[in-house]
Structure 1
Amino acid sequence: MIKGNAISLISHIRDAVNKLIISELEKHGIEGIVPSHGDILTYLYKQKNVTMKELAEHIHRTKPTVTVLVNKLVEFGYVIREKEISDNRITYIKLTKKGIELKPIFEEVSSRIREVMYGGFSEKEGEQFESVLENLLQRFNCTSLK
């Protein structure tokens, strides 16, 4: 029998994952970084030089929200802003040395999260789990576009 509590369960899982991320970062002496910062840093590890607009689109946040998140990362010394020389309206976000040094820690935290999320699942169960979640996300994205 379907209990109808999937949204509540998803919300609790998200909260638990966020707490785990923060706890794991604190074990490495990193404070002030929140999971939303992780989205930005992870993208910057893949794309070395991105615009604010590109960053906002990739992490599915508004430009004002990304601005607030980036401001905090600048304050912590993890990223810098650079204006495009030929067009001052374009701002690039780049990792600093301090930001690059976080990469192995982020990889370790990601590994720990995967361990908790998929631990005990067979390969097939993990694939089915992801498929169900992707299907659900697609349903909501399609519904919100109508």
Structure 2
Amino acid sequence: MNDKYIVYFISRTRKKMISFIEKQLLENGLDGLIPSHGNILTALYENNGKLTMKRIAEITGKDKSTITPLVNKLLELGYITKIKDQTDKRVTYIILTSEGNRIKDKYKAISNEVYATAYKDFSQEEKEIFLKLLKKINNNFNSTT
């Protein structure tokens, strides 16, 4: 195998996965959502539907400046709301609305379809090795940023 194509294949795979997710979102009537919203929704679903912006940024590994427009779009779509902390007005909580909770099953079904497609014909051992290698590549770039 010619290893000089690794960046090409990572890039192409990312593009195909994003297209796949966008198609799934449209087919499931989740217009307005984009793949980047998935990390925020997942963080909220896994944390009782309530997190600070700072914590969302930590969980998703993104800057608050990147998270802010995504959160604002979710707010506009009615999937979340913002509430100031009663004791510390500097802290804002992002909370799932009933609409945000209503789409949870659709969202999880899309996530499951993404994983099923991505790991089709992978053994458990191959999944573990693949993840380990991707993490290794990712970590190699940590020292360069």
TM-score grouping bracket, smaller chain normalisation: over 0.9
Q: Secondary structure at the match of 1:4?
A: helix
Q: Percent identity?
A: 37
Match of 1:13 in 2: 13
For normalisation by structure 2, the TM-score amounts to: 0.93
Task: Please report the TM-score for the alignment, with normalisation by the length of structure 1.
Answer: 0.93
User: Which residue of structure 2 aligns with residue 84 of structure 1?
Assistant: 85
1:32 match: 32
Cα 1:23/1:10, change in 2 over 3 Å: same
Report the number of matched residues.
144
Instruction: State the 4+ residue runs in structure 1 displaced beyond 3 angstroms.
Output: none
| Deviation for aligned residue 1:83 | 0.2
Output the CA distance in 1 between the equivalents of 2:58 and 2:125: 31
2:124 aligned residue: 123
Distance 1:53 1:3 in 2: 38
Query: Which residue pairs with 1:22 in the alignment?
Result: 22
Range moving further from structure 2, 87-96 or 55-64: 55-64
Q: Mean alpha-carbon deviation: is it higher for 127-136 or for 32-41?
A: 127-136
Gaps (5+ residues) in structure 2? none
* Equivalent position SS for 1:93: strand
1:64-115 Cα deviation digits (max 9, x unpaired): 2211111100000000000001111100000001101111111111111111
Deviation at 1:37, TM superposition (A): 0.6
1:116 Cα deviation from its structure 2 partner: 1.2
- Structure 1, unmatched stretches of 5+, are none
| Alpha-carbon distance between aligned partners in 2 of 1:97 and 1:144, rounded to the nearest angstrom | 42
